[in-house]
Structure 1
């Protein structure tokens, strides 16, 4: 049995696959085969050419890690026609060294003297952990894991060009976030939860900032930069995932997917296939994926997060009140927020000062984690409700 959490698992895993035939003969067939496993959608349900008994009892993290390795190895076979595990491992390590942004922790634990396969084990372990932020724990891994496909697409480029093309990862992330944003805007009626979904995606990216997102016109996106069928299908599938609510797509949403396919240079049949594939995947696996068990998954996350934030404040009420009492300006701004909209400067000041307080209260350091600052509006909302005396006094003092 393979244990993806035990040292040496990669050698054992690849040892079972080293002499297998390629899963596809071209980029489009390859993408279809990978999509059928659920990896594209962020929830792996199967492995190509790996017995189900081998994966029995694996955690979500272990399954995701093994699926990432498996897909990287498959694209290596597709591009190089080589099945040698040692050659694959060497190229995968070199690839991750190149794609790692300065200051990113992916390679910090890797010892140069470690066996090459162990180095890759450490890299993949850290790669999966980079998604372990406040959202992936509370909201399921499905959004952040769907972005792992970018590793595979970038690895394909690395194998073709002997390096990752300049700004490739940034352009790919920008395209994903822009398309997701436009897909949500294609709905006849958008909600605050659609905006939150964009932020959820944004909390998981590493090369892009919200300021770079172009979401006003599909034709303005630089989609002609992407030439591979795998890249184009991935962008189309991300749009389909974003607009899914309860399985009943609006006509405006379907029209958007067809327009996106046209912009990507894909036939209508490919757009129809994308819609049908996701629909079939959800129907078969919905009961096993918490994210899709709600008519509005993002609303469910928001409500769940609100309850967690409220509980955290209650448990730390005395400590939090003490810290707030030492910051009169913050209390005044929070008081104003209960009866008027704050301007951008005031909101920025509240955010900065609240984060400083969170550093001093251990249980509230959740707001310092990647993506945690997006929950600050919930914190601001509940503070006056749970510490009413302090804010009533502040109001009286300013009358």
Structure 2
């Protein structure tokens, strides 16, 4: 099983995907629709377009984004170069991102100097999937990973085709994205409770511009001249569509906006109509899991995200963790007691101390030893009884 949080995951990904298909897609629209079907375009990945299926159950959102990013970059490489040389792909991807690094001293570049190409790419992808929020804000945010990662894929296409990037490519594409999304939100016939979250999503995902409301009055006034290929145009249509979505419908005025945008981009009405239907179906089906369509208290966000992370860590280390617990007779007795009785202050202190001792022996659980890590222990303690054999839970007798 691949674990995108552990060193070596890229090499393992390619090892598990062997043998790679020897047929190559040359249709850009097909590439785009297959990528869109995974949710990557919308920043909410529900599947991976891979030869061998990859289960993402018990994965953290960041891990899903990392693998989705790698796979989409590789599919772009296959589309452009028409081969499966993943070693060459990795080198090309590292060289591409090196172009984005400002010249001069760079601590990350110095740190990566002696790393293997796949290790370098792992670190780069880890950085790219992050939002531009600071750590504190991120903990309380609905937006967990960057939602505009497809811009990297579009830029990678430019690099593969030309060996370089057009000057300020990211700035220009982001600027167009900001204008279209901002105008889309302004065009909506009704205010949706999700609009603020969508704004937050895009604000925290841009890297080279500041997201601000547009002063452009209508779609006819948009400057779309920088968009040269269909993939860029398809992407703009879909981003406008997700911005206009509200309560499972798109009003006539909003449809007009999308069709007019398609006309300005020389995109057929058939694609625009398909985009409207796909966006509606995707959001309707996955709305409950899409963070930016769920308005909740920031503190609840923090608790939910932290709980998810702790549970995933425990599940991945379940066998070793349980082995350590069962070797402590006193801890087992206290945990069993906690399932049906309140523990006194002294007993709680004993559980805390012994659990921290166990966490020292399991590398993945050292998060609990970091400053503030003990605040996560109640989540850990709450989850442990579910892993214990039923014999230790008197409620199941």
TM-score (norm 1): 0.68
Look up the match of 1:334: none
Look up the match of 2:285: 284
2:183·2:214 contact (CA, 8 Å) conserved in 1? no
What is the deviation of 1:188? 2.5
The 1:88/1:262 distance shift into structure 2, 3 A limit, reads same
Look up the match of 1:140: 142
What is the deviation of 1:225? 2.0
The 1:36/1:137 distance shift into structure 2, 3 A limit, reads farther
What is the deviation of 1:219? 2.7
Higher mean C-alpha deviation, range 124-133 or range 164-173: 124-133
Look up the match of 1:234: 235
Look up the match of 1:326: none
What is the deviation of 1:161? 1.0
1:110·1:123 contact (CA, 8 Å) conserved in 2? no
Look up the match of 1:188: 189
Distance 2:301 2:39 in 1: 30
Look up the match of 1:150: 151
* Structure with greater proportional helix content: 1
Higher mean C-alpha deviation, range 188-197 or range 93-102: 188-197
1:258·1:268 contact (CA, 8 Å) conserved in 2? yes
What is the deviation of 1:15? 2.5
The 1:262/1:4 distance shift into structure 2, 3 A limit, reads same
Deviation per CA, 1:82-137, whole angstroms, max 9, x where unpaired? 21111101110111111235799894574211111111111111222345546654
2:174·2:209 contact (CA, 8 Å) conserved in 1? yes
What is the deviation of 1:243? 1.7
Look up the match of 1:320: none
1:174·1:212 contact (CA, 8 Å) conserved in 2? no
1:2·1:54 contact (CA, 8 Å) conserved in 2? no
What is the deviation of 1:250? 1.9
What is the deviation of 1:151? 0.6
1:105·1:126 contact (CA, 8 Å) conserved in 2? no
What is the deviation of 1:165? 0.8
The 1:131/1:63 distance shift into structure 2, 3 A limit, reads farther
Higher mean C-alpha deviation, range 56-65 or range 16-25: 16-25
The 1:256/1:150 distance shift into structure 2, 3 A limit, reads same
2:43·2:147 contact (CA, 8 Å) conserved in 1? yes
**Aligned length in residues:** 302
SS of residue matched to 2:76: helix
Distance 2:253 2:163 in 1: 42
Distance 1:80 1:53 in 2: 24
Distance 1:36 1:284 in 2: 12
Look up the match of 1:85: 86
What is the deviation of 1:175? 0.8
SS of residue matched to 1:25: coil
Distance 1:102 1:200 in 2: 30
Distance 1:103 1:130 in 2: 24
Structure 2 unmatched ranges of 5 or more: 303-371, 373-397
Matching of residues 247-262 of structure 1 within 5 Å: 247-262=248-263
What is the deviation of 1:305? 4.4
The 1:265/1:107 distance shift into structure 2, 3 A limit, reads farther
1:214·1:221 contact (CA, 8 Å) conserved in 2? no
Structure 1 unmatched ranges of 5 or more: 310-362, 364-399
What is the deviation of 1:157? 0.8
Distance 1:104 1:177 in 2: 31
Distance 2:165 2:186 in 1: 32
2:158·2:164 contact (CA, 8 Å) conserved in 1? yes
Look up the match of 2:8: 8
TM-score (norm 2): 0.68
The 1:42/1:103 distance shift into structure 2, 3 A limit, reads farther
The 1:106/1:73 distance shift into structure 2, 3 A limit, reads farther
Deviation per CA, 1:264-317, whole angstroms, max 9, x where unpaired? 11111111011111112123322333433xxxx5xx35xx349999xxxxxxxx
1:11·1:117 contact (CA, 8 Å) conserved in 2? yes
The 1:193/1:12 distance shift into structure 2, 3 A limit, reads closer
